[in-house]
Structure 1
């Protein structure tokens, strides 16, 4: 799933390549992906791309035809979605249900440059909204403070009194926006904190370590991602991961074996030596949690 660094990089890519270009046509290959109807997506035709922005893990492309008449095409790429830039595209409208293409925007001319919103797999969760204000989208309106700009004191306030485990809290978009499964694993590993540590019980020095790790991991990922082409971002993300999706491999810090805890539809990875005092966490599917 794309997280804040990848969304930030995609927004940068659109600002570099799409701004000042008019919309020639919009193709909808999956009506179920479009979650709004007023204004219709056809109202983008003739409007000019004026910018791109990020709201947590939501990507917004901004359009206008005159001052005060802005529209925002906002997408949540979910687990298997992606934005793909193209210099040329087919002029034939796509057939619904054929392939991963969900939504296409032609810029300058039909068949010319533009971008596709695609989604692999059978679980179609990609969502597209066309709104006058991103705050009209419930998921955007509920976002907590952004992880990339969250200060240490603000983080301490968010953690105070929380009974949730750190892993759960870090991926809760209503608490902290922009972090998903992969970077939460990396942040906790860098901070040397157990995923099962109770957020509201962290001592001051552990809060300090979490704040430093959050800033370091995310800013490093942004620095590596921004300027990459959209096609190379996934590989760039994988290359920077130290524990996430590395079950069974040696921890690059201490050499211990990276372990995994699995749930019904997701899993996370951690290093016992770095994070849990050498004590493995039991797989919740098989036995009770070892704290």
Structure 2
């Protein structure tokens, strides 16, 4: 799943490539991906792109046209992605087709004789969760209205206040977007490993030292990932993310810090990874949903 650093990089990419260009049209191939109807997507026709930003893991393309200022907001979910094309075919993708394309946005050429560029929003797999919204205010998107503080800018004290009221497993709290916006499965594994904290640690029982380590790890991991990602082409962001991971998706491999074997805990539809030596005082967590908490 694209998380805060990748979405931040996509927003930066679109600011460089799309801002100032006029939208020719939006083609919808997967109607179930579009979650709003007023204003209609046809309101994008003839509008120009004025900015691109991020709300947690939501990507926000700001446009201005006859309908006023609008926001084309995308949540890429677990298997969605944005593919930039310097030249798009004039024919729209087949609606309701079996291909991965959910929506295609055509942008007018930068120069009069240039090609029509733009991007495809695609989603792999059978769980179609990619979501597209066209709204006048980002807060009209329920997921944005419910977001907690942004993980990249939250202060140590605010992080402490937020977590102290949760009384939940640390891994769960870090990935709950209403608690903390922007962190998903991969970067939460990396943050907890850098902070030397168990995924099952109770948030209400964090000591001052543990809270400081967690906040510093969050700032370091996310800041480094943003620095590596921004400036990358959209096509290379996924591989850049994988190259920077120390424990996530590395079960069975040696921990780069201590050399212990990275372990995995699996659930119904996902898994997380951790290092016993670095994070759980050498104890291996049971690989089942009802694992006992490691204090």
User: SS at 2:68's partner residue?
Assistant: coil
Mapped pair 1:168 → 2:172 = yes
Mapped pair 1:289 → 2:288 = no
The residue that corresponds to 2:276 in the other structure is 272
Work out the CA distance in 2 between the residues paired with 1:156 and 1:198. Answer: 13
Work out the CA distance in 1 between the residues paired with 2:241 and 2:259. Answer: 22
1:17-46 superposed Cα distances (whole Å, 9 cap, x missing partner): 001000111110010000000000011010
Mapped pair 1:94 → 2:98 = no
Work out the CA distance in 2 between the residues paired with 1:93 and 1:23. Answer: 15
Matching residue within 252, 255, 258 for 1:251:
255
Mapped pair 1:8 → 2:8 = yes
Mapped pair 1:69 → 2:68 = yes
The residue that corresponds to 2:204 in the other structure is 200
The residue that corresponds to 1:81 in the other structure is 80
CA contact 1:106–1:114 (8 Å) conserved in 2: yes
User: SS at 2:91's partner residue?
Assistant: coil
Work out the CA distance in 2 between the residues paired with 1:37 and 1:80. Answer: 24
RMSD over equivalenced CA pairs, Å: 1.4
CA contact 2:225–2:244 (8 Å) conserved in 1: yes
CA contact 1:91–1:111 (8 Å) conserved in 2: no
TM-score normalised by L of structure 2: 0.96
- Which shifted more, 178-187 or 276-285? 276-285
* 1:241 to partner: Cα distance: 0.1
1:148-163 equivalence runs, <5 A: 148-163=152-167
CA contact 1:84–1:118 (8 Å) conserved in 2: yes
* 1:290 to partner: Cα distance: 5.6
CA contact 2:44–2:65 (8 Å) conserved in 1: no
* 1:289 to partner: Cα distance: 2.9
* 1:161 to partner: Cα distance: 3.7
TM-score normalised by L of structure 1: 0.97
Work out the CA distance in 1 between the residues paired with 2:2 and 2:291. Answer: 31
The residue that corresponds to 1:129 in the other structure is 133
* 1:140 to partner: Cα distance: 0.4
The residue that corresponds to 2:53 in the other structure is 53
CA contact 1:50–1:62 (8 Å) conserved in 2: yes
User: SS at 1:274's partner residue?
Assistant: helix
- How many residues matched? 289
Work out the CA distance in 1 between the residues paired with 2:221 and 2:61. Answer: 26
Work out the CA distance in 1 between the residues paired with 2:4 and 2:149. Answer: 12
User: SS at 2:72's partner residue?
Assistant: strand
CA contact 1:35–1:128 (8 Å) conserved in 2: yes
1:246-269 superposed Cα distances (whole Å, 9 cap, x missing partner): 000000000000000000011000
Going from structure 1 to structure 2, the CA distance change for 1:211 and 1:158 (only over 3 Å counts) comes to same
* 1:98 to partner: Cα distance: 3.1
Work out the CA distance in 1 between the residues paired with 2:165 and 2:13. Answer: 40
- Which shifted more, 265-274 or 96-105? 96-105
The residue that corresponds to 1:230 in the other structure is 234
CA contact 1:62–1:70 (8 Å) conserved in 2: yes
1:110-155 superposed Cα distances (whole Å, 9 cap, x missing partner): 9611111100111100000000000001100000000000110101
Work out the CA distance in 1 between the residues paired with 2:260 and 2:57. Answer: 32
CA contact 2:201–2:293 (8 Å) conserved in 1: no
Work out the CA distance in 2 between the residues paired with 1:161 and 1:19. Answer: 41
Work out the CA distance in 1 between the residues paired with 2:188 and 2:108. Answer: 40
